[in-house]
Every structure is written in C-alpha cells, then in structure tokens.
Amino acid sequence: MTSRNDVAAIIDHTLLKPEATPADVEALVAEAKELGVLAICVSPSMLPITDPGEIVVATVVGFPSGQVKPEIKAAEAKRAVADGAAEVDMVINIGQAIAGDFDGLEADIRGVVEASGDSLVKVIIESAALSDEQIVEACRRAEAAGAGFVKTSTGFHPAGGASAHAVGLMRETVGDRLGVKASGGIRTAEAAEEMIAAGASRLGLSGSAKILNSL
C-alpha cells in the first residue's frame, strides 16, 4: 500500500466544475494546504490565486473540448502564466488525433508550450476517446512538442476518465522522460493506487480528502 504522504505529494487537488465560485476556490486552497497536496488545478478565470503558499498553481487551457483555434489556446496559456499559473494542462484537439492529423496536433501543443515559457505543460489526450495507436502517437507528439507531462482525461468526456491500461501505455511510450498524470473518475484509494502502479506520477483528484483519509 502506498503511504498517505507519498500520494499527497503527487496530487493536483482539482476544482473545474463550471458552477464553482471564488469562495469554492478559496476553500479548495485552504483544503489543499491542510491535506499537504502538491498542487491545485482551477479554471483560468479563477486566477490569480491570492495566497497559494507552497501549493503549486495549475490551470487548464482549451478545456474541456480542445476544439479551440491553436492561437487562442496559446494566448490562453500566455495569460494564465501571467496570472500566476506554474502549470498549464492543455487539451489536444481530439478530432485531430482521430482524423490522424498528428502534425497539426503537434503544432497545437508546441504553440502552448512556447506561450507557457518556464511553466510546465501537461497535455490532456482524452485517452478513453482514442485507440491505443492514437494514444501512443499523441504521447509521442506531446514529447516532440516539448511538453513535460501527458495526461489521460479532462474528466468531462462521456467516453470516461483514466484507466490503468491507458496510463500503462502512456508510461511505456514516454519512459521516464515525461510525467504521466492520471485524471478523471479516480474516486477511491484503490483506484489511485492502481494508477500509480500503472505508471502515474501525478493524480488529478477532486475527492482528495476522501482518498487520503482512506490510506
């Protein structure tokens, strides 16, 4: 069993529901500090965070559909970084991956990486909507474009969230060169441990407290 502190150290404590209020975000930051997690992940409209303390601030770009013009995604990333985001979780154009336009997909990611400067970019590939071959190629292109992480899911796609199979495939593709973030539908300590065992080096969780209290 993974220790509570080991798990807390790789959690992005997440609040991305559209109805979230500034008060909800304040509560999220307070809870993140109390739980001792690594990071929070909030919508870009909630930035800047007034007093994150030691907590890493992450936000999302092109979220949740990914069907945004590349220059808009890049501009969104640039603004997010100016507003204090140390990490940017961008959604690929999933239709590009399905259509096989991986050159376009790589260019889209590169634009966000360049606009993000020193901030870490995590690339959400929406793995449940892709075939194994598409997952592998999307991960390869994310690495080629200079991203620091690949990430399974937004948590908003009807096809589902993270799976141990997808995490394992992603880890196998990027080796130890990139991080792998499992996100979407991870609601139990068992599920969290399964993702870590499959190769996840970061977890996106909205129910962090419940999971950590089970460890």
Count how many domains the chain has: 1
At residue 112 the predicted structure's pLDDT band, cuts being 50, 70 and 90, is very high
Q: Is the pLDDT of residue 1 over 80?
A: no
* Model pLDDT for residues 58-108, shown as the tens digit of each residue: 999 999 999 999 999 999 999 999 999 999 999 999 999 999 999 999 999
Residues contacting residue 201 through CB under 8 Å, at least 6 positions apart: 10, 149, 179, 180, 181
Q: Which of 73, 78, 122, 151 is catalytic?
A: 151
Specify whether the CB–CB gap between 78 and 116 falls below 8 A: yes
Q: Which of 73, 78, 122, 181 is catalytic?
A: 181
**Cα–Cα distance for residue pair 88/120, rounded to 1 Å:** 6
* Model pLDDT for residues 113-162, shown as the tens digit of each residue: 999 999 999 999 999 999 999 999 999 999 999 999 999 999 999 999 99
- Concerning whether 151 is annotated as a catalytic residue, the answer is yes
Q: Which of 12, 89, 108, 122 is catalytic?
A: 89
- Concerning whether 181 is annotated as a catalytic residue, the answer is yes
Chain center to CA of 107: 19
Chain center to CA of 201: 11
- Concerning whether 78 is annotated as a catalytic residue, the answer is no
Q: 50-54 long-range contacts, Cβ below 8 Å, gap at least 24?
A: 52/84, 53/29
- Domain assignment of residue 18, given as a range: 4-213
| CATH number of the CATH domain containing 77 | 3.20.20.70
